[in-house]
Amino acid sequence: MGKEYINLYDLQTSLKSGIERLFPSRIWLKAEISAMKARIGGHCYLELSQSDGTGLVAKANAVIWASRYRFIAPYFESVTGSPLSEGMSVLVQAQVTFSQLYGLSLSIDDIDPDFSLGEKERIRQQTIARLEKDGLFDMQKSLALAPLPGRFAVISAEDAAGYRDFMRHLHENPYGFSFVTDLFPALMQGAEAPSSIVDAMDAVLGSGSDYDAVLILRGGGSRIDLACYDDYGLCSHIAQFPLPVFTAVGHDQDYHICDMVSFGFLKTPTALADEILGWYEDEDARLLAFASRLRRAFSSKIAALDSRLSVLEAKIHGADPRNILRRGYVLVLDGSGVALKKASGRKKGEEVSLMFADGVLKCVIDDILPLKEK
């Protein structure tokens, strides 16, 4: 007895007819780019996928024909600040097609860049709420920074421009201030960056060195490139780190969750170098002001002592007997050279000396005549 069957082509044709009836026009589709390759001819081939907590649950091939790709790609990058790349969550407008030879395929006609940004922002807000709920948001702020920190563990990529700018600006300062900056290399962008930075932070603790603070440095980049600095694992590790952590990631307009939970943040690595130098400049100015106050106080003390000395000199000068004698007065001395202050008590025949400004007369008392009171 023969079995009923259909051939493969008829099956594929039936599937094609059914799919095209089910999706006669373009649809908006949410997926993640799991693979992507732009060909020399201008076409871009992608593998779109979806995952849940158990892993991969769906995938499909897609293509952006050259005539659309040359418009879609630059526009997406101009809005998001980052080119289309693997790992991105995207919202695409696609025509569902089915080929008897190649199976199901999606022909992408447009990609919404605002969705990719919005998806990142949604996850970002969830991370902020989780950190606040876990009580981690302000933990770093409770740490104490050394009065004048000078030993830093630096986490960055060794070849990064931001790291080089920081090192040059800090160590080539015009004041001659000296610092210790030990590099702990890490990946600073992409999906592996959070775990790499966490590993570098753990290496700082395991080094046995006595650092004043940890500095996380990364120069500018697109919003999507820098999205790793909103990662919950990284931010919670920074929040609970036992040393003060300073972040300097991205451009002036960037503000990441790791900035929010750190002890302090600056907009750029160069700005962080300026901040550190500012601490030393302020201390230098304080010491100079203190020394100046000491000099002024010392000068004032010397002036006061000099004034007192002048008064004493004037008093001594005024009390000098020779100056009194020069004014016409006479000093009478007994035979022992003791000054006589009154006539009573003297006897006839005693020798006395009369001292004048220009000499001394030796005399003998002939008579003592008391003065009559008027």
What is the mean pLDDT of the segment spanning 34-39?
90
**What is the percentage of the chain residues whose pLDDT exceeds 90?**
53
Query: Does pLDDT of 53 surpass 80?
Result: no
Burial class from Cβ neighbours inside 10 Å (0-12, 13-18, 19+) for residue 16 reads middle
> Is the CB of residue 111 less than 8 Å from the CB of residue 91?
yes
Could you report the per-residue pLDDT of 123-180, keeping only the tens digit for each?
A: 888 899 999 999 999 999 999 999 999 999 999 999 989 999 999 999 999 999 999 9
pLDDT at 331 > cutoff 60: yes
Residue 337 pLDDT = 78
* Residue 3 to residue 99: CA distance in whole angstroms: 27
Over 80: is that where the pLDDT of 251 sits?
no
Confidence at residue 338, expressed as pLDDT on a 0 to 100 scale: 84
Instruction: Please state the rounded mean pLDDT for residues 277-288.
Output: 89
pTM, entire model: 0.57
At residue 360, the pLDDT reads: 85
Position with higher pLDDT, 14 vs 80? 14
Higher pLDDT, 192 or 212: 212
Question: Residue 362: is it exposed, middle or buried by C-beta count within 10 angstroms (0-12/13-18/19+)?
Answer: exposed
Tell me which of 267 and 343 has the higher pLDDT: 267
Question: 45: Cβ–Cβ under 8 A, 6 or more apart, which residues?
Answer: 36, 37, 38, 39, 61, 62, 63
Determine the average pLDDT of the residues in 253-273. Answer: 91
Q: How confident is the model at residue 297 (pLDDT cuts 50, 70, 90)?
A: low
- The whole-chain average pLDDT of the chain stands at 87
For the cut 90, the answer to whether the pLDDT of residue 271 exceeds it is yes
Higher pLDDT, residue 72 or 224:
72
Strand order in the sheet with 359-364: 331-333, 351-356, 359-364
Q: What is the mean pLDDT of residues 105-120?
A: 89
Residue among 39, 49, 37, 30 nearest 93 (CA): 30
Answer whether 150's CB lies under 8 Å from 121's CB: no
Q: What one-character-per-residue DSSP string does 245-277 give?
A: EEEEES-TT---HHHHHSSEEESSHHHHHHHHH
Share of the chain above pLDDT 70, in %: 92
For residue 223, what pLDDT is reported? 63
Q: Are 102 and 60 in contact (CB under 8 A)?
A: no
pLDDT value, residue 373: 65
Q: What is the mean pLDDT of residues 71-98?
A: 89
pLDDT at 339: 80
Can you give the pLDDT at residue 372?
A: 72
- In the numeric block, the tokens 């992507």 are attached to 36
